Structure 1
Amino acid sequence: MPMNQFLFDHQLAAMRADRSGSAEERKEAFEAMAGRAKRIAEWRKANGLSNLGWPRDVHPDSHKDG
């Protein structure tokens, strides 16, 4: 699975946890998030990236639209 799709799915799980209607739904969403977060961290480490923030040479340009 491409990393962008994987990150998208991780974000969807976070939104599901936030909007869950029951404790069981919330538990399932948090478990999905935890598993994905672990895999994302492993992927970042394997690719020489920090597990925190943006890589040093890639930053969102907050002044681009203004």
Structure 2
Amino acid sequence: MNDSVKQMNMGVILCRHCNAQVDTVDTDRIATFYGVCDQPECRELHSRLDVPGVVMDEE
């Protein structure tokens, strides 16, 4: 019998500029966080807009 259990993270971090998935987060419920990915275009846009830190959008 296979007793392995795969953990599923219910939170996701998306790039606020291109919507690419940056990472997943272990949360108690479904949650969406916004950050900035490593793409140069997104980093440049983020620095020009002077956007504040992470924003949480619960679904």
Higher strand share: 2
Query: What TM-score do the two structures reach when normalised by structure 1?
Result: 0.28
Higher helix share: 1
Query: What TM-score do the two structures reach when normalised by structure 2?
Result: 0.31
User: Which of 1 and 2 has higher RCO (CA within 8 Å, sep 6+)?
Assistant: 2
